[in-house]
Amino acid sequence: MAAENEVKTKPDADLVADVALVPEVVDEKDVIHLKKPLPNGNTEIVFNFDKITGYVLLRCEKQARKEDPGLTIPLLSTVFQAFVAAAATKLRYDDIAGLSAPDFIAVTNKAANFLASAGR
């Protein structure tokens, strides 16, 4: 009966505020935040390099060679990197190529880093 007569107090407001303000930690290693949004309004591009297979890379290389017949070293080609980025993000090559220069460089660098470090 003593428990029934206890007065319930409100939790400390400062403690609740501290708990409510703790942001959720999100792993953004495969996310690029764009300086200019895509035509569809998206402001970030999410990469999924786990879905890239050898067949995908070969197809990207073939498409890059059509776009740039003088291509000699695919890994160093921004055209090839843009095709790989498109494959990893489910975007079209034209969407990648149409990005602002700073965003295009960030996206192709992300693909280049994947290509350079794959298998390590």
Mean pLDDT of 67-73: 94
pLDDT given for residue 69 in this prediction: 94
Computed over every residue of the chain, the mean pLDDT equals 83
Mean pLDDT of 68-74: 94
pLDDT given for residue 5 in this prediction: 54
Please write the tens of the pLDDT for every residue from 7-66. Answer: 555 544 444 444 444 444 344 788 999 999 998 899 999 999 999 999 999 999 999 999
pLDDT band at 120 (very low <50, low <70, confident <90, very high): low
pLDDT given for residue 28 in this prediction: 72
Could you please report the per-residue DSSP string of the chain? Answer: -HHHHPPPPPPPHHHHHHHHT-PPP---TTEEE-SS--TT---EEE--GGG--HHHHHHHHHHHHHH-TT---GGG-HHHHHHHHHHHHT--HHHHHTS-HHHHHHHHHHHHHHHHHTT-
